[in-house]
């Protein structure tokens, strides 16, 4: 699978930085980027009204899922945040000073997982996916998933905002020869959500919940 095109990345980053700065102080609620590593991002929150502080720890995974065929065939889009070197910021001024174009970009490694709950095989043709940094062309890549099978395939990579907490994706595909369009927001899962949704026996944050392809 290969890229088709990208929008102008510097303009993307400038827009993200502007919105990032504007979100620091809203109605007395301050959000601080405490620290980043190659795998996690810590966001500190201070509520000026109550005086309470809290910290959210984000993982490196963005994901979401939807039905391709209701109750029979599901799809999960997963993006793995990959950044080799990420600066550590110790104050608001340092954070804002560090967010240059290079530091603000990371690579999102994309993969798709098909969940076939059906007793028959299904074919899915992947056409393209549009994300904030551009459009990926999958060149009509055809996946065939067997009965009661869970099939995962890597699908390339694309630039993502290093300090983001969500990725908007629009996927064009064909399911059993019929066109489908899936539009999803892929939230960046927190460490707490990973334990909540992906521990053994937990219900996944997708429409099929705790169902397994083989009951």
pLDDT band at 13 (very low <50, low <70, confident <90, very high): very low
Provide mean pLDDT across the span 86-108: 57
Q: What is the 3-state secondary structure (H, E, C) of 94-137?
A: HHHHHCCCCCCEEEEEEEEEEEECCCCCEEEEEEEEEECCEEEE
Q: Is there a domain that residue 147 lies in?
A: yes
Q: Is there a domain that residue 212 lies in?
A: no
Domain with 181, as residue range(s), is 2-198
Q: Is there a domain that residue 152 lies in?
A: yes
The backbone torsions φ and ψ at residue 71, rounded to the nearest 5 degrees and listed phi first, read 65, 5
Q: Is there a domain that residue 206 lies in?
A: no
Nearest to 19 by CA among 163, 160, 154: 163
pLDDT for 132 beyond 80: yes
DSSP 70: T
pLDDT for 192 beyond 90: yes
Q: Is there a domain that residue 211 lies in?
A: no
Provide mean pLDDT across the span 45-62: 86
- Write down the pTM of the prediction: 0.78
Higher pLDDT, 30 or 55: 55
Q: Is there a domain that residue 214 lies in?
A: no
Q: Give the count of domains, the chain.
A: 1
Task: Using a pLDDT cut of 90, give the percent of the chain over it.
Answer: 60
Q: Is there a domain that residue 210 lies in?
A: no
Q: Is there a domain that residue 213 lies in?
A: no
53-69 and 178-190: which strand pairing? antiparallel
The single residue listed with the structure tokens 């997708």 is 206
Q: Classify each residue of 137-174 as buried b or exposed e, where b means 16 or more C-beta atoms within 10 Å of its C-beta.
A: bbeebebebeebbbeeeebebbbbbbbbeebebebbbb
Q: Which helix (H) or strand (E) holds 78?
A: strand 73-82
Torsion angle in degrees (nearest 10) through CA of 187, 188, 193, 195: 130
């Amino acid at each position: 699978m290969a890229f088709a095109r990208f929008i102008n990345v510097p303009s993307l980053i400038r827009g993200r930085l502007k919105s990032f700065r504007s979100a620091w102080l809203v109605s007395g609620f301050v959000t601080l980027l405490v620290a980043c590593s190659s795998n996690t991002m810590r966001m500190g929150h201070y509520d000026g009204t109550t005086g309470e502080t809290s910290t959210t720890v984000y993982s490196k995974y963005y994901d979401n899922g939807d039905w391709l065929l209701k109750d029979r065939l599901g799809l999960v889009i997963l993006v793995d945040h990959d950044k080799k070197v990420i600066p550590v910021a110790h104050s608001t001024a340092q954070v804002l000073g560090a967010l240059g174009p290079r530091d603000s970009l990371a690579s999102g490694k994309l993969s798709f997982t098909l969940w076939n709950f059906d007793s028959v095989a299904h074919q899915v043709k992947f056409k393209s996916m549009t994300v904030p940094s551009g459009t990926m062309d999958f060149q009509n890549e055809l996946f065939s998933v067997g009965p009661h099978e869970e099939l995962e395939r890597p699908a390339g990579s694309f630039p993502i905002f290093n300090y983001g907490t969500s990725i908007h994706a629009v996927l064009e595909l064909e399911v059993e020869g019929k066109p489908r369009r899936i539009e999803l927001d892929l939230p960046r899962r927190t460490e707490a959500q990973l334990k909540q949704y992906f521990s053994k026996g937990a219900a996944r944050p997708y429409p099929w919940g705790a169902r397994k392809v083989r009951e």
